[in-house]
Amino acid sequence: QQQVKQSPQSLIVQKGGISIINCAYENTAFDYFPWYQQFPGKGPALLIAIRPDVSEKKEGRFTISFNKSAKQFSLHIMDSQPGDSATYFCAARPTNFGNEKLTFGTGTRLTIIP
C-alpha cells in the first residue's frame, strides 16, 4: 500500500536549470513532509521539510511547494548544479502521536549535466 507517490523516477536537467520533483499523498492524516537527499553509497540525509500550515518553504536554492487541497507537494531546485546529482525521496509522517515512522516515496534519480 503506497501512500506517497513520487514522480518522475529519473530526471536529467542541464546545469543552471530548474529541477522539479513531485509527490502526492493519499492519507490526510500526515503533518510533516520532508525531502531527503541520498548520494551513492550513503544514507539519505534531510534536505528540507514543510508542515501543512504553509504553502511554500525556501532554503537557498531548494523550495518546497505544498498544495493541501490537492494533497501534493513538490521540490524545486533552482540553478541546478552537478553536485545536486543524487536520489531524492519525499516522505510524509502521520499525525498520531507516538507513531513517527516516515512513509517514503520511491525516489527520483536526478542527474545534472554540464
Contact 109, 10 (CB under 8 A): yes
Task: Give the length of the chain.
Answer: 114
Closest listed residue to residue 107, CA positions, set 92, 85, 87, 83 = 87
Specify the residue, 31 or 79, whose C-beta has the smaller distance to other proteins: 31
Is 102 an interacting residue with respect to other proteins (CB under 8 A)? yes
**Per-residue mark of binding to other proteins, 34-53 (x: CB under 8 A):** x-x----xxxxxx--x----
Rounded-to-10 torsion of CA 80, 78, 66, 28: 10
Q: Does 64 bind other proteins (CB under 8 A)?
A: no
Residue 62 binds other proteins (CB under 8 A): no
15 binds other proteins (CB under 8 A): no
Grid cell listed for 20: 522539479
Residues that bind other proteins (CB under 8 A): 6, 9, 32, 34, 36, 41-46, 49, 89, 91, 93, 98-107
